[in-house]
Structure 1
Amino acid sequence: MDVLNELLRSDFRDLDRRASDLYLSTVARVDPARLHLPTPCPDWTLHGLLRHQVSQDEGFAAAARGAGGTLAVWRGGRLGGDPLAAARASAGLVEKAFAEDGVPEREFVLPEVRDGGGFPGALAITFHFVDLVVHAWDVAATIGAPWEPGEELTEAALKVAAIVPADPETRGPGLSFDQVVPFRDGPPEHRLLALLGRSPAWRPGC
């Protein structure tokens, strides 16, 4: 069975909840005074990155219920005065929406992916999952915190990363992922970062 077919037959909802815990535990370390810092995602400061994930959570929650077709649904996230509370609230929306019966069999409309259109729910959930795992690293790298996804989350995320198109038209500034970073040897979590356009050696200011 190839990786795509394996993912289409999967139920990543438990893995997604665990990835959310990883992400939220990292956000809990963020000092609001550091929200201006640059992140490994060149388009975003730390504030922008956290706001992006809140927006993505809200979008995926809407898509799980058949209401994700407009870009506005994916762009409205706000941090308010408490970024952690905002992150927890949006994560709760996703967990509740994904927990409904039959969600992996539903069609998710994801207007920000490729040319938009519908994706099988089982596959769409893997997209949300891999974003959480890697954005947890983005936050951790920005603030100098540890990032320890563990073997199971890393292996699952590598499977999702393997199906992300790597052609120049779908990678680069303003797109979901930057170009694949050359990678020779190292732990699998570093390979995951490289596949999704991140240098494992990134540090603030470098």
Structure 2
Amino acid sequence: MAFPDFRAADATAVRNSVQLLDGPLDLTLPTPCAGWTLSDLLSHMTIQHLGFAAAARGEPWPLSQWTPRPLSSDPFAEYAAASEEVIAAFAAVEALDAPMPLPEISPTPIPTWRGIGAHTIDYVVHGWDVARTLGAPFTLPEDLLAEVLPIAESVPDGPNRDREGTAFAHALPIPAPATTLDRILLLLGRRP
């Protein structure tokens, strides 16, 4: 059975976020993520890359390690290195149906293809968060957005989105017409 392979889309979305962050950064800027500054978002994104990379390699990464920590003296270099680490870890995956332990997402391992898909949609949205924070344009290829739209459509919208620290706010109404990016963002509680 063939499983969806989101690795190319993930690498594109992640590298796009790196390009957005390359330059002088005001880490105190507020982001579209409620209550988070750019520093908070960058710390979260860095730790997510490291956690997903460890999971893809089958290494233990307990829930306690998913907590964002203070950034280093060179947060961009730290983020760029973590980005390449997760891309390389995903590229080395041999079985997309192998179990992937992601305690931050699920108490039981999920199929690796699904974990990579979750990471991909997160970096489409977080890339947009960064662009919005910096007042920069945000573009990803339309075919990539179309590939990941079903992931956004599959994220349950219910009481789980009310919990503290949840990844996404409640879905918002989607006007007609709406771009693919706008649909993704609205489904995941962002206001394009």
Q: Normalised by the size of structure 1, how large is the TM-score?
A: 0.85
Q: Which residue of 2 aligns with 1:181?
A: 172
- In the alignment, does 2:121 pair up with 1:130? yes
Residue 172 of structure 1: how far off its partner (Å): 5.3
Residues 59 and 68 in structure 1, CA contact (< 8 A), matched pair in contact too? no
1:36-88 deviations in whole A, cap 9, x for unaligned? 11110013111000110000000001111222451133225553122221111
Q: Which residue of 2 aligns with 1:194?
A: 186
Q: Which is worse superposed, 63-72 or 156-165?
A: 63-72
1:137-193 deviations in whole A, cap 9, x for unaligned? 000001100001120121122111011011123345421111111221221211110
- In the alignment, does 2:87 pair up with 1:95? yes
Residues 51 and 66 in structure 2, CA contact (< 8 A), matched pair in contact too? yes
CA change 1:188–1:112 in 2 (3 A) is same
Mapping of 1:68-79 within 5 angstroms? 68-75=60-67, 78-79=70-71
Q: Normalised by the size of structure 2, how large is the TM-score?
A: 0.91
Q: Which residue of 1 aligns with 2:12?
A: 18
CA change 1:188–1:172 in 2 (3 A) is farther
Cα separation, 1, equivalents of 2:190 and 2:124:
13
RMSD: 1.9
**Partner SS state of residue 105, structure 1:** coil
Structure 1: 5+ residue stretches without partners = 201-206
Q: Which residue of 2 aligns with 1:147?
A: 138
- Aligned length, in residue pairs: 191
**Partner SS state of residue 165, structure 2:** coil
Select 2:35's aligned residue among 43, 46, 58: 43
Residue 97 of structure 1: how far off its partner (Å): 1.3
Letter in 2 for 1:127: A
CA change 1:77–1:15 in 2 (3 A) is farther
Residues 62 and 73 in structure 1, CA contact (< 8 A), matched pair in contact too? no
Cα separation, 2, equivalents of 1:76 and 1:138:
17
Q: Which residue of 2 aligns with 1:167?
A: 158
Cα separation, 2, equivalents of 1:191 and 1:43:
23
Cα separation, 2, equivalents of 1:169 and 1:98:
27
CA change 1:132–1:43 in 2 (3 A) is same
**Partner SS state of residue 154, structure 2:** coil
Cα separation, 2, equivalents of 1:157 and 1:93:
22
Residue 135 of structure 1: how far off its partner (Å): 0.3
Residue 106 of structure 1: how far off its partner (Å): 2.0
Mapping of 1:49-64 within 5 angstroms? 49-64=41-56
